[in-house]
Chains A and B, each alone.
Chain A
Amino acid sequence: MEAIRTTGLTKKYKDVVAVDNLNLSVFKGELFSLLGVNGAGKTTTIKMLSCLTTPTSGDALLNGKSICKDPAAVKSIIAVSPQETAVAPGLSVRENLELMCGVHGFTKDKKVRKIAELTELLGLNTVISKKAGKLSGGWQRRLSIAMALVSEPEILFLDEPTLGLDVLARSDLWDLIRSLKGKITIILTTHYMEEAEALSDRIAIMKDGRLLVCDTAEKIKEQAGKDSFEQAFIQIVKGAEK
């Protein structure tokens, strides 16, 4: 069953076409990666799907709800963990989670329950009283994802969640993302080939706003005739330049 279906999704900024006639489907419970070099249109695609920016043309249905016609309904079923760490630095980890519970209108009981659940799921117990601004990059990303999960989203957008993290923090975050697989639909954007290959059910490779290929990592390697996913990616992207 489809969680996301885009039809001719296009975004233009003056003369620049950031996303060009994007047509793709993402299935429920799938972890779907958008891969591409800088300026490929990954973040713009996420911004359109999360109703942060309106498409120039085309539309997308998220669990049947249109981003153009019913953005409020779309917002009620999605959550975004943006590229940069999006936490309130002066608040503690608990207060950050309380903030998200509050803006989603949770009752006191539900708030307490949700915070306990997310603290356990993301292993935030040791830092729960610390100020978010004082946490390391890895912990901040963890908190950022926890804040996105507060609203119990059906679709979660993770925009370059491991950017700038060290190897251990990245590995921890991969484990966390794996633990969410199957429970909710996850759209992940990343620069890292190994990340996309290790985590994704399917991968879409974009360049200059266009979708070049969309398949499993194995099929993409097969299609490019390469053993390594990185080599396959390079071949596909460079091939599109010719």
Chain B
Amino acid sequence: MRIFTFAGRNAKEILRDPLTVCFGLGFPVVLLLLLSAIQANIPVKLFEIQHLTPGITVFGLSFMTLFSATVIAKDRGSSLLQRLYTTPLTALDFILGYTLPIIPIAVAQCAVCYLVAILLGLKLTVGILYATVFIIPVSAFYIALGLLCGSVFTDKQVGGICGGLLTNLSAWLSGVWFDLDLVGDAFQKIAYALPFVHAVELERAVLSGDAAGVFPHIWWVLGYAGATLGVAVLLFLRQMKRQ
């Protein structure tokens, strides 16, 4: 009950910010339309709708990091968290309250992207449904990253780090915009040591119905999600104690 009250408040704070709707839902859709238009004129395999859409849905999750980090950082900056720390809310209530409301937003963002992709010619298959379900573990990683950043940085720093740096890293190292084979060597090794490209390849495999192709990417995603969540919880508890 307490978790849902707090989670509901966080969902309202996020969804009532017009920038959330613009960037969270609008920006991935604009990218999808733009890159599909480029594909229509200069065909590139990477930008074919069945390749592009999973990548865009994963890239769009970097905004979930920004949303969760911003809400936490703003709460830490104001005295609201201090007030709530004197209530019966527990540390688990806080962590779940910040995490849970973003999962449906991430799923909705993914669903909107696939809806637009269908209008752009993506074949309607059950894979779309599975891909929307598999976005949940991927979103867990991005949301945990938001919890981590929000526990450490101020709301202004969060804007730069999550809004600027992370969205770019997520874009470059995910193989959505360019084929990582083209860059090769060190860049490719770094990219495959991070979860972004694995998340995209996981989603591509799920969408295409390639069950074997899900592995090993799912382990990378779950591993990073678990580790990031673990560190995020520790950092959140540390700042909670400091407050």
| Interfacial residues, chain A to chain B (CB-CB below 8 A) | 50-52, 72, 75-76, 78-91, 95, 98-100, 102-105, 144, 147-148, 151
Contact = CB atoms under 8 A, between A and B. Distances in A.
Contacts of A51: 86
B83 interface: yes
Interface string B69-93: 0000000001110111111110001
B12 interface: yes
Contact of A80 (B5, B83, B93): B83
Contact of B79 (A72, A78, A85, A105): A85
Contact of A103 (B16, B17, B79, B88): B88
Contacts of B179: none
Nearest to A76: B88
Nearest to B89: A103
Contact of A95 (B2, B9, B83): B9
B5 A82 contact: no
Given A85-B79, A89-B78, 16 more contacts: A75-B88, A82-B79, A85-B78, A88-B80, A89-B13, A91-B9, A91-B12, A91-B13, A99-B6, A102-B2, A103-B2, A103-B5, A103-B84, A104-B87, A105-B88, A151-B87
Contacts of B84: 103
A184 to B, nearest CB: 15
B41 interface: no
B100 to A, nearest CB: 14
B239 to A, nearest CB: 13
A86 B243 CA distance: 14
Interface in B1-56: 1-2, 4-6, 8-9, 12-13, 16-17
A80 B82 CA distance: 9
A170 B60 CA distance: 47
Contacts of A102: 1-2, 4-6, 8
B12 A100 contact: no
A144 B80 CA distance: 10
Dominant secondary structure at the B interface? helix
A86 B78 contact: yes
Contacts of A83: 79
A50 B4 CA distance: 25
23 contacts: A52-B85, A52-B86, A72-B88, A75-B88, A82-B79, A82-B82, A84-B78, A85-B79, A86-B79, A86-B82, A87-B80, A88-B13, A89-B78, A90-B13, A90-B16, A90-B17, A95-B12, A99-B6, A100-B87, A102-B1, A103-B6, A104-B87, A105-B1
B5, B17, B85: which has the most chain A beta carbons within 10 Å?
B5
Closest 4 CB pairs of A and B: A102-B5, A82-B79, A86-B79, A86-B83
Nearest to B15: A90
A85 B79 CA distance: 7
A90 B79 contact: no
Contacts of B12: 90-91, 95
Contacts of B4: 102
Contacts of A104: 87-88
A144 B9 CA distance: 16
- The listed residue with most B CB atoms (<10 A of its CB), out of A80, A88, A91, A103, is A103
Contacts of B13: 88-91
A75 B89 CA distance: 10
Nearest to A92: B12
B113 to A, nearest CB: 26
Nearest to B14: A90
A31 to B, nearest CB: 20
B86 A50 contact: yes
Contacts of A105: 1-2, 88
Max count, chain A CB within 10 A of own CB: residue among B6, B82, B83: B83
B206 to A, nearest CB: 35
Given A86-B78, A102-B5, A102-B6, A79 B86 contact: yes
